[in-house]
Amino acid sequence: MSDTVTVTELNNATDPVLVDVREPNEHATGHVKGAINIPLDTLPARVDEVPDAEPIFVICQAGNRSSRGADIVIDLGYQAVSVDGGTQAWIEQGLPLETE
């Protein structure tokens, strides 16, 4: 099981590599700035699209998919953490979202 970080820890991270594992329509409605959208079901095949970084932050809407996504990334040999509470926690903290 992957480690977790809070949205505050993500917000305080310097140049984090962030993978949003929600579906494209969810990502388009609002996401953390700089998040790379790679839906959970495509993550194993697309992990090479993730820039080299340690750790890789993985986010979804509430934290369930991101936990599974972080586990996938870890199983592929990378260091990853799940963002606890996901985008919903980010919104609840009043942090800004980008839309497409």
Q: Is 2 helix (H, G, I), strand (E, B) or coil?
A: coil
Distance of CA 35 to the CA centre of its chain: 7
Is 84 among the catalytic positions?
no
Catalytic residue among 50, 56, 58, 60: 60
Q: Residue 2 class from Cβ within 10 Å (0-12 exposed, 13-18 middle, 19+ buried)?
A: buried
Q: Which residues are catalytic?
A: 60
